[in-house]
Amino acid sequence: MPEISAQTEPDPIATDSPDADTETVAKRKRMGVTFWIAIGWVALVVFGAIFQPILPLQSTTKPDPCSTYAATMANYGISGTAAQLYNNSQADSPRQAQQMADAGTKPPADSISACPNPTLNSKTNAFPSAQHWLGTDSAGRDTFARIVAGAKVALLVGLVAVGVGMILGTLIGLIAGYFRGAVEGIMMTFVDVALAFPALILAIAIVAFRGQSLFNVCLAIAIVATPGFARLSRSSTLTFSEREFVMAARVMGASHRRIIFREILPNVALPVVAFYLLAVAIAIVAEGGLAFLGLSVPPPTPSWGTMIQDGYNVINDSPFVVMVPSMVMFVTVLAFNYIGDRFRERFDVKEAAL
Q: Give 314-319's long-range contacts (Cβ < 8 A, gap of 24+).
A: 314/125, 314/138, 317/125, 318/125, 318/138
Q: Which residue is nearest to ligand ADP (CB)?
A: 15
Q: Which residue, 15 or 316, is less far from ligand ADP as judged by CB?
A: 15
The type of residue at 320 is F
CA atoms in the 13 A half-sphere facing the CB of 170:
21
Of residues 13-72, those binding ligand ADP (CB under 6 A): 15-16
Q: Which residue, 249 or 293, is less far from another protein as judged by CB?
A: 293
Q: How far is the CB of 27 from ligand ADP (least distance, A)?
A: 19
Instruction: Using CB atoms within 10 Å of the CB of residue 348, give its burial: 0 to 12 exposed, 13 to 18 middle, 19+ buried.
Output: exposed
Q: Which residue, 240 or 338, is less far from another protein as judged by CB?
A: 338
The type of residue at 110 is D
Q: Which residue, 19 or 110, is less far from ligand ADP as judged by CB?
A: 19
Q: Which residue, 16 or 348, is less far from ligand ADP as judged by CB?
A: 16
Of residues 174-213, those binding another protein (CB under 8 A): 189, 192-193, 195-201, 204-205, 208-210
Of residues 22-41, those binding another protein (CB under 8 A): 22-23
Q: Which residue, 8 or 15, is less far from ligand ADP as judged by CB?
A: 15
Q: How far is the CB of 223 from another protein (least distance, A)?
A: 11
Tell me whether the omega of the peptide bond preceding residue 300 falls within 30 degrees of 0, making it cis. Answer: yes
Decide if 41 contacts 154 (C-beta within 8 A). no
The type of residue at 342 is R
What 3-state class would DSSP assign to 142?
strand
Q: How far is the CB of 24 from ligand ADP (least distance, A)?
A: 15
**Cβ count within 10 A of residue 282:** 19
By the rule CB under 8 A, 110 interacts with another protein = no
CA–CA gap between residue 145 and residue 18 (Å, rounded): 50
Cα-to-chain-centroid distance, residue 169: 20
| Residue (of 169, 163, 164) closest to 233 by Cα position | 169
Of residues 268-287, those binding another protein (CB under 8 A): 281, 285
Q: Which residues bind another protein (CB under 8 A)?
A: 1-7, 10-23, 189, 192-193, 195-201, 204-205, 208-210, 281, 285, 288-289, 292-293, 308, 312, 315-316, 319, 322-323, 326, 329-330, 333-334, 337-338, 341, 351-352
Residues that bind ligand ADP (CB under 6 A): 15-16
